[in-house]
Structure 1
Amino acid sequence: MSAPGVNQAPAINVRQVLAAGTPEAVKSWLDAVEDVVERARQLAKLSSSDWHRLGELLDSETGPDVIDSMDADLAADALETMAVPKAAAMIDALDSDHATRILRQMDDHGRDKLLTALPSTRADTLRGLLSWPAESAAAHMLPETLTVAPTMTAGDAIAAVREHASHLRSDSRSGAYIYVTGPGEHLLGVVPFRNLMLAQADSVVADLMEPEMLTVSPLTDEEVAAQTLIDHRLIALPVVDDDGRLLGILTEDDAAGIAEEQATEDAERQGGSAPLEVPYRRASPFLLWRKRIVWLLVLFVAEAYTGTVLRAFEHELETVVALAFFIPLLIGTGGNTGTQITTTLVRAMATSQLRLRDVPAIVVKELSTGVLIGVVMGLAAVIRAWTLGVGPQVTVTVSLSVVAIVLWSSFVASILPPLLQKMRVDPAVVSAPMIATIVDGTGLIIYFMIARMTLPELAGFNFGDTFV
């Protein structure tokens, strides 16, 4: 008997399905492995030849569940191994947003073949979604919505909604709000479905609707649109063009998916790497190299100036050798301080808590925090210097330097993310390695300048001569 909380291996895996070679085995596997994450993990291990064999076993019932269990990139690869009519049937059965994400991963030829094989109305819907930029709100919207006219009575509107809903795809998820539209699909207002059901049958929709509502334009950034929906705790958010026409809705499910993807990308950037765009288990060594090497080269070049600073102050180090003992401690403290701040601020900006106008308040708050942190770290530096027996003068130098570097790091880290956001650069690029690199060299300059002011042995050195 396994311990509580320990995941057990599924009774059947996808390779056993391939060995069995029957559609019934696929259905048994889906019933046995209900966890979508576990399904995706198993499917990601299949080769192209495995996918070709599995594709032959899928039918209209099991196929959409299998395709829906994986990321868009893997799903695109899987569909390309199938016959076009079967792959088109799989796409037709998927949510519009998921189908669009998969089609975006295909080349133009493969995409056009599938779209041509779809029913014309469905193909037009997907082509419309694909026409929008991939990171826009419109690319993730559901174009099928429930609408009524403002002149209808509640009774007529309910009948119209029932009739319309019977023709909607199951993925529309648009039943919570009924949108009121005029000529040309011009959006006039919204009525929660519950309010419509509870209203008197002869009530006029125009009297029930709420004319003021949150909307987003089709070109609104997906992250901004998703965060708007989440912040206001909405179930759906209308996507409206410049003429006020209702194009579709962004649902809470879509918003949650966008937020998760953005959080993953930000985390990867904060680690000093470009986003993988595929699950880690499917990332090849070459892909990992390609996503990491550019940032590593940039950081390598940026870090080179730390060596330049050390060389510039080589006379000081030769005169007071004990100063070298504390260099790793000081640059590590500065980098760690900055990393903590940027991680917090980048997340706060991603959730729309902070903007550029908040920079003065951010700087004051972080510098105040930096003073408290600096005092504690300075005391820790005193203890460390005492254990190394470097003498009181070097101890004072190190403790003052720790405080100064913490404050400097706090200042730099508090202004960089909002400034980058204002420049339309993703603030997540202020990664942990990048902020550490920025602070390393400048922190060393602060250290040696304080040493010149506090150590008699260095009193004769001139800062102006240092870089000559």
Structure 2
Amino acid sequence: MTPFQLQSVSEAADDIRRLISEQDLAGASARLTPLSVPEVVELVDRLSIEDAAIVYRLLAKARALDVFEALSPGTRGDLVGALRRAEVTSLFAEIDPDDRVWLLDELPASVAPQLLRGLTRQERDLTAGMLGYPHHSVGRRMSPEFVTTHPQLTVRETFARIRAALDSAETVYTLPVTDARRVVGIVSLRDLMSADEEALIVDVMSDPHVAEVTEDAEVVARRTTDYGLLALPVVDGEQRLVGILTIDDAARILKQEESEDAARQGGVEPLRRSYLSTPIRRLVRSRVVWLLVLAVGATLTVQVLDAFEATLAQMTVLALFVPLLIGTGGNTGNQAATTVTRSLALGEIVPRDVRKVLSREIRVGLCLGLLLGTLGFAIAGLVYEWHIGLVVGLTLVAVCTVAASIGGIMPLAARAIKVDPAVFSNPFITTFVDATGLIIYFLIARAVLGI
């Protein structure tokens, strides 16, 4: 949305809150009428869950379904908790199977059987089948509702299949070509429209990209967007077609994963809903655990300072440079970690590239250290004494090199042991580099100053 649209939605949210507090539901309904579906979604994200449930009930049924499908998974889960059981059962039956699985992943496990019982047998089987795949796998994010064609069918016959499935298929813009349920090709709607109606599909189709149903959803989503695919066929262990991942679902997966990574790199747990609609207690809960962990880790820095207390007592000027050195080290490590974590997410590097990454980060850190160290040497030497400048300069060279190396390899180590690299990112690296940097600083000071 543009800044103007966001401001308009913000004003609408304020109006809706006021009208609901005044119990003027007719006025609230009228205020919602001119808003588009994306604007209603943004508005719901700005309201408390109680007000959001009221707004949802004021929407026409078809529009309410469009809004619900566009909400984030966390908001959906909270909204379901605020609606009546009859409303939830009806809504659950209306949405697509892949959206049902997204929703069930956000709800308590005890709720799933109740909601599944309200589905038809066919819909229940489709949804239950997807729930059987591992968490975070593409099998839980694909759509089992698709249109296929056969290599020996004509373009005319394929169009007949498309028309028959228009109301139920997730997409008709890309069709898997199957033979005995195995994917042998792919054909786009553009290719079909430009071909002769009597042409065989085997002469129109192209080689397919496919994903294994147990592959990580983020990896498959990234591949889908990298290849610019409108839909990617998903196959089981015997290469039989079981679903498709569309480009909009891929974008949704990547948005959620990137939000989680950004949060964890900052040392907080991801929020299930937008910031403005998240209760204060949940914001506190998302941050306090990490703060406690990092506070415990920061005791390393205190212990290092205590161990070198005698050194500081003999040369108190050294204390003045402690914030500069540990801040520079932490920032250098964070830069390296962020770069490597992003490269991991994009598939540019893998854990076995650790030697190459370490080699590059050592050189990058050394270059940064030489630049900053020269500047630190000159400034500290001019303001204080040249031997103090030498200590600061040498420490910056060493700290930048060590920090860049640690920041570069920690995300790779995390991926190797099947842990989210973002978890090992900025906060932990900062804590570790702070303690390491101080040890380096005081050892260099002792060697240069002879204390």
TM-score, structure 1 normalization: 0.86
Cross-structure match for 2:418: 424
CA contact (8 A) 2:147 2:172 kept: yes
Give CA-to-partner distance per residue, 1:45-98, whole Å, 9 cap, x none: 3454x5665565454233313433533333334334444444333233334333
Q: Do residues 10 (structure 1) and 12 (structure 2) align?
A: yes
Match of 1:206 among 202, 209, 224: 202
Aligned twin of 1:341: 336
Show the counterpart of 1:435. 429
Q: Distance in 2 between matches of 1:91 and 1:306?
A: 52
2:257 is matched with 262
Residue 21 (str. 1) matches residue 22 (str. 2): no
Shift of 1:218: 1.4
Structure 2 runs not aligned, ≥5 long: none
| CA distance in structure 2 between the partners assigned to 1:198 and 1:318 by the alignment | 83
- 2:72 is matched with which residue? 71
What is aligned with 1:302?
Answer: 297
Partners of 1:107 and 1:305 lie apart in 2 by 39
Name the CA distance, whole Å, in 1 between partners of 2:147 and 2:277.
Answer: 39
Offset at residue 342 of structure 1 (A): 0.7
Partner SS, residue 265 of structure 1? helix
Q: Is the 8 A contact 2:13 2:47 kept in 1?
A: no
- Stretch deviating more after TM superposition (218-227 or 112-121): 112-121
| Conserved? CA contact 2:381–2:388, under 8 Å | no
State how far apart, in whole Å, the 2-side matches of 1:393 and 1:93 are.
75
- Partner of 1:32, secondary structure, is coil
Residue-pair matches, total: 445
Task: Note closer, same or farther for the CA distance 1:89–1:58 as it changes in structure 2 (3 Å cut).
Answer: farther
Q: Distance in 1 between matches of 2:397 and 2:80?
A: 59
Equivalent of 1:181 in 144, 154, 178:
178
Other-structure match for 1:463: none
Write the letter of the residue equivalent to 2:92: I
Letter in 2 for 1:399: G
Equivalent-residue separation in structure 1 for 2:379 and 2:14 (angstroms): 58
Is the contact between residue 181 and residue 189 of structure 1 (CA under 8 Å) also seen in structure 2?
A: yes
Structure 1 spans left out of the alignment, 5+ residues: 459-468
Amino acid at match of 2:178: T
The answer to whether the 8 A contact 1:334-1:440 is kept is: yes
Q: 1:278 and 1:203, CA in 2 relative to 1: closer, same or farther beyond 3 A?
A: same
8 Å CA contact retained: 1:37, 1:69: no
| 1:33 maps to amino acid | L
Q: Is the 8 A contact 1:89 1:118 kept in 2?
A: no
Distance in 1, matches of 2:405 and 2:14, equals: 56
Contact 1:175-1:193 within 8 A present in 2 as well:
yes
Distance 2:69 2:18 in 1: 20
Say if 2:185 and 2:208, in contact at 8 Å, map to a contact too: yes
Moved more, 105-114 or 259-268: 105-114
Residues 357, 76 of structure 1: alpha-carbon distance in 2 compared, 3 angstrom cutoff:
closer
Greater displacement, 212-221 / 69-78: 69-78
1:290 is matched with 285
Query: Against the structure 1 CA distance between its residues 162 and 423, is the aligned structure 2 distance closer, same or farther, given a 3 Å change threshold?
Result: same
Question: 1:325 aligns to what?
Answer: 320
> Is contact 1:142-1:249 (8 Å) kept?
yes
1:320 is matched by which residue type in structure 2?
M
In structure 2, C-alpha distance between the alignment counterparts of 1:119 and 1:150, rounded to whole Å: 33
Q: Per-residue deviation at 1:306?
A: 1.7
1:287-324 superposed Cα distances (whole Å, 9 cap, x missing partner): 33333233222222222122222222222222222222
- Tell me, what secondary structure is at the counterpart of 1:272? coil
Residues 71 and 373 from structure 1, CA distance in 2 versus in 1: closer, same or farther, beyond 3 angstroms?
same
- The change in CA–CA distance for 1:321 and 1:67 in structure 2 (over 3 A counts) is same
Change (3 A) 1:217 1:358: same
Distance 2:226 2:49 in 1: 42
One of 449, 456, 468 as aligned partner of 2:443: 449
Aligned partner of 2:141 in structure 1 is: 140
How far apart, CA to CA, are the structure 2 residues paired with 1:45 and 1:294?
A: 26
Larger CA deviation: 33-42 vs 126-135: 33-42
Aligned to 1:33: 35
Q: Which residue of 2 aligns with 1:274?
A: 269
Whole-Å Cα distance in 1 between the matches of residues 53 and 449 of structure 2?
A: 74
Identity of aligned residues (%): 33
Q: What is the Cα deviation at residue 220 of structure 1?
A: 0.9
Q: TM-score, normalised by structure 2?
A: 0.89
How far 1:146 moved relative to its partner? Answer: 1.1
1:121-153 CA-to-partner distances (Å, cap 9, x unmatched) read 233322333333341101111111111222222
Distance in 1, Cα, partners of 2:52 & 2:7: 26
Compared with structure 1, are the counterparts of its residues 275 and 25 closer, same or farther at alpha carbon in structure 2 (3 Å cutoff)?
Answer: closer
Amino acid at match of 2:68: I
Which structure 2 residues correspond to residues 61-460 of structure 1 after superposition, within 5 A?
Answer: 61-163=62-164, 165-169=165-169, 172=170, 174-183=171-180, 185-210=181-206, 212-386=207-381, 388-389=383-384, 391-456=385-450, 458=451
1:238 is paired with a residue of what secondary structure? strand
In structure 2, distance between residues paired with 1:202 and 1:404: 72
Quote the Cα distance in structure 1 between the aligned partners of 2:320 and 2:426: 24
From the superposition, tell whether residues 144 and 290 of structure 1 become closer, same or farther in structure 2 (CA, over 3 Å): same
Tell me the equivalent position of 1:462.
none
Report the 3-state secondary structure (helix = DSSP H, G, I; strand = E; otherwise coil) of the residue aligned with 1:180: strand
SS of the equivalent of 1:10 reads helix
Contact kept, 8 Å, 2:13 with 2:46, in 1: the verdict is: no
SS of the equivalent of 2:396 reads: helix
